[in-house]
Structure 1
Amino acid sequence: MTVVESLRPEFTESFPAAMSQGVLYISIPYRTCGHLCCCGCGQEVITPLSPAQWSLTYDGEKASLAPSIGNWGLSCQSHYWIHKSKVHWSRRYSPGEIADNRERDQQRIERYSGGTNLGPLARARRGLRALWR
């Protein structure tokens, strides 16, 4: 496994069938970004862009995503920030912190959507990924 230290932004309408390591795919039409996990495990990471989930900043050369990427559903459970296309590693969260973070994320999504339960992020990620195949 090779740890990724930076991600090159690539704007695309839809994601490729097989993502390349070290690339942050940005789909404006689908308001979503995707990349392979920066720990090197090879798992796809999908980040929906919305006020309740992630925001993208692009300066014409480098990209940033906020908030951090917490891959709690992956076996690696990696946690990092993407800031100006560089990967900045964060500490590992305990199982209790992960549960608290997931609950806050779900509450933020429900507040933004007017109380509509959109389901867990994992289901949204799988559904979005199916759109591009």
Structure 2
Amino acid sequence: MMRHDRLEHAFVEHIPETIEPGILYISMEYGTAAHSCCCGCGEEVITPFTPTDWKMIFDGETVSLRPSIGNWTLDCRSHYVIKRGRVVEAGPWTDEQVAAERLRDRKAKSRHYANQPTVNRTPGPTHSLEHETQRKSIWNRIWPFFW
């Protein structure tokens, strides 16, 4: 049974040090939300917003998170959905279901991030203004002098 059947939302820049029960803290700046577990155990639950993790829907009045929140690493193992500010208890999962979901999640992350462009990890600019000028045609370099 869920101790909290509703969560009020609070848009914040930073998640506060102390998480108040019954409040869903949302940081758009950091793309994440945090709340105290709805079962009442007091554990902090973090839900990052990424293409492979949670999605947040704000309809102007209420907040929903998708998919469900399965706290499989917590002692309580609670499982619920946050839909339009309401906490809807979901059924418990077996260890096999949890393992299958973790495998699906790893595969989804692997597929998604494998398709991302590699990041240039060299420090500093990748080219200089001087180099940029050399790449321009002569016409592009002298055109500003005519206007």
TM normalised by structure 1 equals 0.83
Displaced runs of 4 or more, over 3 A? none
The separation in 1 between residues aligned to 2:36 and 2:48, in whole angstroms, is 15
Runs of 5+ consecutive residues of structure 1 not aligned to the other structure: 117-133
Are 2:118 and 1:93 aligned?
Answer: no
Runs of 5+ consecutive residues of structure 2 not aligned to the other structure: 117-147
Are 2:54 and 1:54 aligned?
Answer: yes
Who wins on radius of gyration, i.e. which is larger? 2
Are 2:105 and 1:102 aligned?
Answer: no
Aligned equivalent of 1:5: 5
Cα deviation digits, residues 62-111 of structure 1 (max 9, x gap): 00000000001101010000000000011000111111111111211222
Give the stretch that moved more between structures: 87-96 or 103-112.
Answer: 103-112
Q: Percent identity?
A: 42
Conservation of the 8 A alpha-carbon contact between 2:8 and 2:24: yes
Aligned equivalent of 2:79: 79
The separation in 2 between residues aligned to 1:81 and 1:89, in whole angstroms, is 6
Offset, 1:115: 6.8
Count of aligned pairs: 116
Larger RCO of the pair (alpha carbons < 8 Å, separation 6+) = 1
Aligned equivalent of 2:32: 32
The separation in 2 between residues aligned to 1:39 and 1:115, in whole angstroms, is 38
Which amino acid in structure 1 is aligned with residue 92 of structure 2? R
Over the residues paired in the alignment, what is the CA RMSD in angstroms? 1.6
Offset, 1:2: 7.1
The separation in 1 between residues aligned to 2:90 and 2:65, in whole angstroms, is 14
Which amino acid in structure 2 is aligned with residue 81 of structure 1? V
